[in-house]
Copies of this chain bind each other. A is one copy, B any other.
Amino acid sequence: MANAIRALSMDAVEKAKSGHPGMPMGMADVATVLFTRFLKFDPADPSWPDRDRFVLSAGHGSMLLYSLLYLTGYDGVTLDELKTFRQLGSKTAGHPEYGHCPGVETTTGPLGQGIANAVGMALAERMLNARFGDALVNHFTYVVAGDGCLMEGLSHEAIDLAGHLRLNRLIVLFDDNGISIDGDTSLATSTDQLARFAAAGWDVTRVDGHDPEAVAAAIQAAKLTGTPSLIACRTVIGYGAPTKQGTEATHGAPLGADEVAGARAALGWSHAPFEIPTEILAAWRSAGSRGADAHLSWERRLQSADPDTRQAFLDGQRGTPGLGLDTALANLKASFAAEAPKIATRQASQKVIDQIAPVLPALIGGSADLTGSNLTKARSQETVTADKFAGGYIHYGVREHVMGAAMNGIALHGGFIPYGGTFLVFTDYCRPSIRLSALMGQRVIYVMTHDSIGLGEDGPTHQPVEHLAGLRAMPNVNVFRPADAMETVEAWACALADTDTPSVLCLSRQGLPALRREAGDDNPVARGAYVVSGDVERRDVTLLATGSEVALAVEAAAKLGDEGIAATVVSMPCWELFRVQPEAYRTQVLGTAPRIAVEAAIETGWERWIGETGRFVGMTGFGASAPAGDLYAHFGITVAAIVAAAKEIRTSKGE
């Protein structure tokens, strides 16, 4: 049965003229044991909530997964799909892509991400289990990871967190083949991986990855431990390839016709390319149907659960925030309208979280060790610990990267809406995971505070200047920079409502005055940009701004008004949402008067909004260490500078 995986992998890579045959051939035995004897899954319903999760962290070995999905009978994963491996429009992309091919639990390829997603999945399983019990939630998360995954720094953050939380339903099968792209791993690493994982509190063992009984015994033992488990599987990369096996030559290129023929002979596989003998396919399909009974029993348990529990479980799975949320947000907006608080948007965000956490049990918060700065923990949230998974708040530690990757895993698992905080400048530390949130279309909410030089004394290492531009450049991410408490509520509402897009909330450290004094029923932030002060029609100049700089623009507009210059201020909390508004709305908001943009960040991207004749008041390079007020003055992001730019732009236009 394992040779069926090897043959399909060789053949598909050969036909595509590109791909990675070495890993599937090396791990075929391990995968066969896992899929035929342990994995709880039902190819007829890839979204069954209580299935075991299988994560191919070494995503380049995608043919291992595609072979398994075909052999076990996933709908739509046909032989024809395997024959169009890596071709435009096929389900069998070069690396496994979530949402693109049934049975793919997460998009992998960027190394280290899969194992970190799996930590999130295994954590989600325990958290959901704490809420709904063994009858509804009781599954394992299996990972295949290679040497590359374990060299990436992200793997440290992942195993550190998993060990700390004693995620005993997490089992990592390490493809311990001693080969990476440059050659033998001894070129680059000398780490004793078993000792390393043990240091993080994992149960560890090593087996011959080509001995099915040894692999089975190790998995069986791993299922019973009270900690996450690492099973190092000694394998031969490209197992069966007569001259290339055990070398990097099998890693990332087709074997070639002669070598494939030789491998067929060595493996005793006499069948034509893409041909699987009936009895072998039948054996695989039988393995694929193993889970049907378990699935049926689970459905029965769900039906016999009490109605409230069932409803709560299904609501969580559907990810519908629910009516309580709308009321909570509306109440908060009303109180902000009444009180007009001058608070930092991170403080406003804290108030949002305090309001919504009690009515939104699916909400799972956290911070990368900046809880008191990000203000991410609701009063009602208890900390998630290894002894108590019922809580709603995760201390991710100083580990931004696994925070992002685990949130992806939590969102993919289902049942939860994760959010997590750090300083905006440290989005750089988790950018690969933000990108995967975007590529997979996951509702992950990044709460990024201290969003400009307004951070002050900590200096340029902690002050984002290019991060807004960098995040706005990423496809399918909504970047919000609310201007006051009201906009912060509305940005949160958008982030919670958009089930297919991650959001980055960029929040101020410093207090900001309330701009809007009426709550209203609509959500102008959802339109991306809107006129916040001044006349929509009659204007001499338009001031565009986001976040903490909107108040400066409003003040500048007042000064300009005193001098007879009509300045209209547009708050632009989310460019991405504005860009998809009807053209008539966009034209109306932007107007035809000359434009000045104000943002305590670099200009990149603003050219789109201000045009060739516009002006920009903002940063031109890195920040500095000083109190925030001094920095705004030093870098010339002031009311006076906006007023001067407005006069200058009118002069240069001959007005």
List the B residue with the shortest CB-CB distance to A227. B190
Q: CB within 8 A of A460: which of B187, B200, B201, B439? A: B439
Taking CB atoms, residues of chain B closer than 8 Å to A429 are 110, 152, 432
A458-473 contacts to B (CB < 8 Å): 458-462, 465-466, 469-470, 472-473
Asked if A182 and B367 make an inter-chain contact with CB atoms under 8 angstroms apart, the answer reads yes
Nearest chain B CB to A570 CB, angstrom units: 17
In the complex where A111-B398, A189-B160, A195-B199 touch, is A428 in contact with B431 (Cβ < 8 A)?
Answer: yes
Asked if A153 and B151 make an inter-chain contact with CB atoms under 8 angstroms apart, the answer reads no
In the complex where A457-B18, A470-B473, A612-B611 touch, is A439 in contact with B622 (Cβ < 8 A)?
Answer: yes
A602-655 contacts to B (CB < 8 Å): 602, 604-605, 607-608, 611-612, 620-622, 624-627, 630-631, 634
Taking CB atoms, residues of chain B closer than 8 Å to A370 are 181-182
A5 at the B interface (CB under 8 A): no
Asked if A475 and B469 make an inter-chain contact with CB atoms under 8 angstroms apart, the answer reads no
- Would you list 28 pairs from A and B whose C-beta atoms are within 8 A, ordered by A residue? A18-B456, A18-B457, A87-B625, A87-B627, A93-B624, A110-B461, A147-B398, A148-B398, A151-B369, A153-B402, A160-B189, A164-B188, A164-B191, A180-B397, A181-B369, A182-B370, A187-B383, A187-B395, A192-B201, A195-B198, A196-B196, A198-B199, A428-B435, A429-B432, A470-B470, A472-B604, A473-B473, A473-B605
Nearest chain B CB to A9 CB, angstrom units: 15
In the complex where A88-B626, A191-B163, A469-B604 touch, is A182 in contact with B371 (Cβ < 8 A)?
Answer: yes
Chain A 155-194: CB-based contact to B (< 8 A → 1; otherwise 0): 1110011011000000000000000111001011111110
The CA of A367 and the CA of B182, in the complex, are separated in Å by: 9
A209 at the B interface (CB under 8 A): no
In the complex where A88-B631, A94-B457, A182-B367 touch, is A153 in contact with B399 (Cβ < 8 A)?
Answer: yes
A328 at the B interface (CB under 8 A): no
A58-88 contacts to B (CB < 8 Å): 59-60, 86-88
A54 at the B interface (CB under 8 A): no
A476-518 contacts to B (CB < 8 Å): 476
Taking CB atoms, residues of chain B closer than 8 Å to A86 are 457, 459, 625-627
The CA of A401 and the CA of B461, in the complex, are separated in Å by: 17
The CA of A237 and the CA of B2, in the complex, are separated in Å by: 56
The CA of A525 and the CA of B18, in the complex, are separated in Å by: 34
Nearest chain B CB to A605 CB, angstrom units: 6
Closest 8 CB pairs of A and B: A153-B153, A156-B156, A188-B397, A88-B626, A195-B199, A93-B625, A109-B461, A607-B607
Asked if B109 and A473 make an inter-chain contact with CB atoms under 8 angstroms apart, the answer reads no
Taking CB atoms, residues of chain B closer than 8 Å to A16 are 457
Nearest chain B CB to A285 CB, angstrom units: 27
Nearest chain B CB to A356 CB, angstrom units: 22
Chain A 125-142: CB-based contact to B (< 8 A → 1; otherwise 0): 000000000000000000
Asked if B182 and A372 make an inter-chain contact with CB atoms under 8 angstroms apart, the answer reads yes
A40 at the B interface (CB under 8 A): no
List the B residue with the shortest CB-CB distance to A426. B110
Q: CB within 8 A of A607: which of B112, B191, B608? A: B608
Taking CB atoms, residues of chain B closer than 8 Å to A476 are 621-622
Residues of A within 8 A of B (CB): 16, 18-19, 59-60, 86-90, 93-95, 97, 107-112, 147-149, 151-157, 160-161, 163-164, 180-182, 185, 187-193, 195-196, 198-201, 367, 369-373, 383, 395-399, 401-402, 425-426, 428-429, 431-432, 435-436, 438-439, 456-462, 465-466, 469-470, 472-476, 602, 604-605, 607-608, 611-612, 620-622, 624-627, 630-631, 634
Nearest chain B CB to A438 CB, angstrom units: 8
List the B residue with the shortest CB-CB distance to A113. B461
List the B residue with the shortest CB-CB distance to A400. B152
Q: CB within 8 A of A181: which of B182, B189, B372? A: B372
The CA of A438 and the CA of B439, in the complex, are separated in Å by: 28
Q: CB within 8 A of A469: which of B97, B198, B460, B470? A: B470
Asked if A94 and B458 make an inter-chain contact with CB atoms under 8 angstroms apart, the answer reads yes
Q: CB within 8 A of A439: which of B151, B157, B439, B461? A: B461
Nearest chain B CB to A614 CB, angstrom units: 10
Taking CB atoms, residues of chain B closer than 8 Å to A181 are 369-373
> Which one of A94, A97, A147, A461 has the highest number of Cβ atoms from chain B below 10 Å of its Cβ?
A461
Taking CB atoms, residues of chain B closer than 8 Å to A164 are 188-191
The CA of A373 and the CA of B607, in the complex, are separated in Å by: 36
Nearest chain B CB to A335 CB, angstrom units: 29
The CA of A395 and the CA of B429, in the complex, are separated in Å by: 23
In the complex where A88-B626, A182-B369 touch, is A396 in contact with B188 (Cβ < 8 A)?
Answer: yes
List the B residue with the shortest CB-CB distance to A607. B607
Asked if A401 and B153 make an inter-chain contact with CB atoms under 8 angstroms apart, the answer reads yes
Asked if B152 and A157 make an inter-chain contact with CB atoms under 8 angstroms apart, the answer reads yes
List the B residue with the shortest CB-CB distance to A164. B190
Taking CB atoms, residues of chain B closer than 8 Å to A189 are 160-161, 164, 397
> Which one of A397, A456, A605 has the highest number of Cβ atoms from chain B below 10 Å of its Cβ?
A397
Asked if B97 and A460 make an inter-chain contact with CB atoms under 8 angstroms apart, the answer reads yes
Taking CB atoms, residues of chain B closer than 8 Å to A155 are 153, 156
The CA of A153 and the CA of B428, in the complex, are separated in Å by: 13
